Chain A
């Protein structure tokens, strides 16, 4: 096996590490703790391009916070693209229930300057021109989509997930945001001053982050949600939408690791996909910031109940010994999906950033980004599925 060190990549990553100082090891029970605003460096022996990920936690406090994040992120993305236009770099953006991710894919030799550019952008007030454009685009989007049943359901689920205590006021139509107010709020300070120091991950091609393999890395557990007033098991929100929307929240058993939770989610997706029929319009799965499995389905009105039952059965089937054959059949597909997700540098960087946002240590996050090499066993996944229970369900639509 080859590979001779790439001098440019080595220099770049050494400079990155130098620029931010050593990753100060704050000993804890489970590994290194990252200094605020310093990058987690993950090395890959074979890597045609490097990636730099800047992540902020998902804004989950209110609809207005979500709008601020949406417009602010669009402006920040435009600023990053303008700032890197003369370099071999691509900047993309994604978000999920845990975080908002700005991912730069770059030639290894410019990774250092890209990281510096992104840090500068996160600490600088965004240009008014870009903020105005972003707010204006957001208004257009809301005018077009704001009152669609799908958007209303998403707001209801978001409110439900952040513990609205059953009031579910998030379903009301969002008033067109006050442009001047939003823009003014976004331009009051830098993104970092509003959302806190970003989480950074650099995936490079050298031994920039020495993983101590001799040391056991405690598994990162996905469960740890703070105690909350219990939600009602079933909440029905009537509306005149013809399509039925169902949001189901499941809780994993204690001692479930993040990786096991991801795998059960992917297995469930594969199982639902294999049983798909024309009455299931779309479905989406995710693991929210509190480590719960969230499944959203849209179905025809007649088949809504049937699909809720099928969803519950699918999880039971994954966990049952009789259903073991089914899980074993699905597992290769999930393994390949996961490997393909983590093989590119941006995918590995994004996975590590997500783990960090969830509270993992550096070692745990790096291990998660490299987890395709050490996957959970079918037995263990069956046990996790067996212990996964329905926490609450929201049904929207159907008059």
Chain B
């Protein structure tokens, strides 16, 4: 539908709907990697629409900022939302997913286009306020997850980095209470902070009527969010092995050079010879404050140190020289695989959306396709600048 007609429809709808103001913006594109329309509704969500013809499904993604940056609370929020929506989604065979991705709490639901109305209902359930009833199970599972992670050196690295990168200090963030989860929902799911992405052959009035009023009332509650201090982890010394760890921030994960460098590092670690030591990569959430970690396990300290030194040597231009082409190819290949599916299209469009329109999935693919070796230099500098060596074996 031409953009002009879209705007007329919007204007008509806005006129008919007292909740909407007339201040909307809209763009239009013919590139499948650039959404047709981006509509910003005052005191309402940002609607990112791609009207498709000839594909038999409808996909809807809702994403909200991670506010406060407390992954445990987000995990419980997501788990409760999925529990609420699961049976309705199963009834229509919808693919249902929820998680923390690209620094946002996100959900998607995808089903046959015949079930668009039911799918909207599923999405409303996903974005609804979490209830106290039923939260106990999700909280218990989060306790179990943290306890389990704290039992291993690798898990300890995950907890340390989660607290450090997201919470601002070392140590593990505690398990949130029911009220903390509800506070997160009020802040993150405030209607004017939501992004709703719709992929499908649907009329605009359908999107407005079914999706524009989901989430919490607009405007987050006043005041800073509550963030508990991280607690220090105690860890028994390993009687058998020496462990060593390093971690660094990824920087903006929507930057294709970051994706390529991380992929190159992954390939380099797998292919490099590290005698007498087991070297593993640990990846934090792939988001704007994501991180990568390396753990080394060896029977002797000197073997662990040598292996870690080899691994860190990869984080230089010379070190990645042999692997960067493969890293760039992997990043491109991952992008293509994602773009070919409705779920992947929604995730990429969400990841590369910029309010000012400066980035989108197309610009990311172009950057990935034209990536040169020297583009990785600033990324490696960022890696080096944020390098952190947590103690995980005592």
Contact = CB atoms under 8 A, between A and B. Distances in A.
Contact of B112 (A2, A49, A335): A335
A332 B337 contact: no
Contacts of A105: 336-337, 340
A332 B53 contact: no
Contacts of A48: 32-33, 339-340, 345, 361
Contacts of A90: 333-334, 336-337
A1 B361 CA distance: 22
Interface string A91-107: 01000000000000111
Contact of A1 (B50, B53, B112): B53
Interface string B333-356: 111110111100100000000000
Nearest to A85: B329
A312 B249 CA distance: 56
A344 B56 CA distance: 10
Contacts of A106: 336
B335 A339 contact: no
A339 B326 contact: no
B112 A51 contact: no
B332 interface: yes
Contacts of B55: 44, 46, 343
Contact of A88 (B56, B92, B369): B369
A345 B340 contact: yes
B79 interface: no
A277 interface: no
B111 interface: yes
Interface in A312-340: 329, 332-340
Contacts of A4: 30
A46 B32 contact: yes
B365 interface: yes
A339 B53 contact: no
A3 interface: yes
A240 interface: no
B339 A49 contact: yes
Contacts of A88: 332-333, 335-336, 365, 368-369
B235 interface: no
Given A88-B368, A90-B334, A339-B56, A332 B340 contact: no
Contact of A89 (B201, B325, B333): B333
B143 interface: no
B224 interface: no
A333 B90 contact: yes
Given A2-B36, A3-B30, A90-B337, A46 B93 contact: no
A342 interface: yes
Contact of A332 (B28, B32, B92): B92
A74 B324 CA distance: 24
A216 interface: no
A372 interface: yes
Given A89-B333, A89-B336, A340 B110 contact: yes
A240 B113 CA distance: 50
B8 interface: no
A1 to B, nearest CB: 5
Nearest to A47: B32
A377 B344 CA distance: 31
A329 B90 CA distance: 10
A103 B2 CA distance: 34
Interface residues of A, number: 40
A336 B95 CA distance: 8
A37 interface: no
Interface string B79-120: 000000000001111110000000000000011111100000
B18 interface: no
A346 interface: yes
Contact of A107 (B95, B325, B365): B365
Given A333-B93, A340-B57, A86 B336 contact: no
A330 to B, nearest CB: 9
A205 interface: yes
B167 to A, nearest CB: 36
A378 to B, nearest CB: 14
A65 interface: no
A104 to B, nearest CB: 9
Contact of B30 (A6, A332, A336, A372): A6
A44 B91 CA distance: 29
A4 B36 CA distance: 12
B289 to A, nearest CB: 27
Given A2-B30, A333-B90, A334-B93, A340 B333 contact: no
Contacts of A6: 30-31
A175 interface: no
Nearest to A336: B93
A259 B95 CA distance: 22
B56 to A, nearest CB: 3
B133 interface: no
A336 B118 CA distance: 12
B309 interface: no
A331 B263 CA distance: 41
A332 B90 CA distance: 9
B52 interface: yes
Contacts of A343: 55-57, 341-342
B1 interface: yes
Q: Which of B33, B339, B340 has the most CB of A within 10 A?
A: B340
A86 B115 contact: no
B164 interface: no
Contacts of B52: 45-46
A227 interface: no
A46 B49 CA distance: 14
Given A48-B33, A89-B336, A90-B334, A1 B1 contact: yes
Contacts of A51: 340
Contact of A3 (B53, B92, B337, B340): B53
A336 B111 contact: yes
A92 B341 CA distance: 14
Interface of B: 1-2, 28, 30-33, 36, 50-57, 90-95, 110-115, 201, 325-326, 329, 332-337, 339-342, 345, 361, 365, 368-369
- 5 closest A-B pairs by beta carbon, nearest first, are A336-B93, A333-B93, A372-B56, A46-B52, A90-B333
Given A45-B53, A90-B337, A343-B56, 9 more contacts: A6-B31, A45-B52, A45-B54, A48-B361, A49-B339, A88-B335, A332-B92, A335-B93, A336-B57
20 contacts: A45-B53, A46-B32, A46-B52, A46-B53, A46-B54, A46-B55, A49-B336, A88-B332, A88-B333, A92-B337, A205-B32, A332-B93, A336-B94, A336-B112, A337-B93, A339-B56, A340-B57, A343-B341, A344-B341, A373-B56
